[in-house]
Amino acid sequence: MSALVVNNSVSVKAKPSVVRKSREVKKSVPVKQAEPKTCKFEIPYWLRGDNGKGSVAYFVYGRYQPGHIGHKVVFNRLVYEAKKGNPSNLPWVDAPQGGKRASNVFVFVSQKQNNKRKKPCSKLEVTGVTACENPLDPNTKVTLLQTQNPNSEPYIHFMEMGNVFSGISLLLDCYNKVVMFVGEDRVDDFDKLKKYYPGRFEVESAGERGWNPDSGNIDGISSSKIRKAAVNIKSFDMGDENYKFVRDKLGLEVGKGQADIIINKINAAYIGAMGGRTRKKRTRRKTRKFKNNTRSKRKSKSKRKSKKKTRKSRKR
């Protein structure tokens, strides 16, 4: 700031007025509205409401490593609940005349698999509850479940799914309400999901494994027991107790060829079933003396090279 002295009085120069450019008004860009999600499944026509969605769908979610006759009882429970909503026994199609087959029963198969593990699994890890308990790929599991449950009306949608949230969102595009069936010990865990879908999501217990009186005695069956028997099979015939156990628990619908594929894939999840675990070669630890000796050898070599160079230069 500069000052001028006029008649012994100090006057201050005024700053030139700065004309500010008026800000340009941004043009409002129209926001694109999200397109309504379309349903990916056929809905039974007698379940469809005024909004085009079905009233209710039933589903389960699991790893199925592998699926067995114990799971079949839970699937029968889903079909039983779906049939209760059809007292007039109307056809399971999406249109009264000439419609496609439709169903509101779903089995979602987890996509978890041990393909990201570098270290081979041990026999104990494959049969237990660890990172190696998922030897089968999703496609194999879905094919096995479809074979185990061939004839049901309404039919069951078997499909792989990343997580429970994805499955619920997919069903809510088609139905106003979804009901998930879980084991008695998991009801409280999944009951917490209700806050994310108020009034549209429910959790019910699938009951004990002896729920269906026609299914026979299936207490004590688990996927881990089947995996344990599979890795201890010595011969692929019914004379082997472990092989017979796996074939019986997979169900009569599963033929020998498909059962053998399941067993081989379980065994291929780790090194040890067919000839023992491979051991790493032990490398000899380099001691300080060894390191010093190598250093001295290197120095002596460099000295010899330098002496040879000096001799050659002198001769020239």
297 belongs to a structural domain = no
Average pLDDT of 116-139? 69
253 belongs to a structural domain = no
Average pLDDT of 71-82? 92
176 belongs to a structural domain = yes
15 belongs to a structural domain = no
Q: Tell whether the model's pLDDT for residue 31 goes beyond 70.
A: no
Q: Is 67:115 a contact under the CB 8 Å cutoff?
A: no
278 belongs to a structural domain = no
Six-digit token pair at 171? 């069903």
Q: How does residue 6 score in pLDDT terms, banded at 50, 70 and 90?
A: very low
146 belongs to a structural domain = yes
190 belongs to a structural domain = yes
49 belongs to a structural domain = yes
Listed ranges 19-28, 78-87, 211-220, 270-279; the one with the highest mean pLDDT: 78-87
Higher-confidence residue: 102 or 292? Answer: 102
Q: Tell whether the model's pLDDT for residue 131 goes beyond 90.
A: no
Q: Is 180:61 a contact under the CB 8 Å cutoff?
A: yes
Dihedral sign computed on CA atoms, order 115, 116, 121, 124: negative
Query: For position 206, what pLDDT does the model report?
Result: 84
Higher-confidence residue: 241 or 210? Answer: 241
Quick: pLDDT tens for 175-224: 999 999 998 888 999 999 999 999 999 999 987 654 444 444 455 688 88
Query: For position 186, what pLDDT does the model report?
Result: 87
Q: Is 171:47 a contact under the CB 8 Å cutoff?
A: no
Q: Report how many domains make up the chain.
A: 1
The Cα–Cα gap between 268 and 135 comes to 8
> DSSP code of 268?
T
Six-digit token pair at 200? 């549209």
The Cα–Cα gap between 178 and 165 comes to 12
The pTM for the full model equals 0.70
Measured N-to-C along each axis, helices 256-267 and 138-148 cross at an angle, to the nearest 10 degrees, of: 150
The Cα–Cα gap between 206 and 181 comes to 5
Higher-confidence residue: 168 or 97? Answer: 168
The Cα–Cα gap between 222 and 245 comes to 12
Q: What is the mean pLDDT of the chain?
A: 79
Domain that holds residue 208: 45-124+133-215
Q: What is the CATH number of the domain that holds 120?
A: 3.40.50.620
Task: Tell me what percent of the residues of the chain surpass a pLDDT of 90.
Answer: 46
Quick: pLDDT tens for 272-301: 434 444 445 555 555 555 555 666 666 666
